[in-house]
Amino acid sequence: MSNFETELRALVEEWLKRGDDFLSVYDALRNEADRLRDMREGIFPNKSEGKVNGVGRMADNPRAVLVTLSVEPTDDEMRDFHEFLRGWH
The backbone torsions φ and ψ at residue 15, rounded to the nearest 5 degrees and listed phi first, read -65, -40
Q: Where are the domains of the chain?
A: 1-43, 50-89
Provide the pLDDT for residue 1: 58
Lowest-pLDDT choice from 5-14, 54-63, 64-73: 5-14
Task: Give CA separation, 45 vs 19, 69, 82, in Å.
Answer: 29, 16, 15
| pTM for this entry | 0.42
Report pLDDT digits (tens) over 60-81. Answer: 998 998 988 888 888 888 888 8
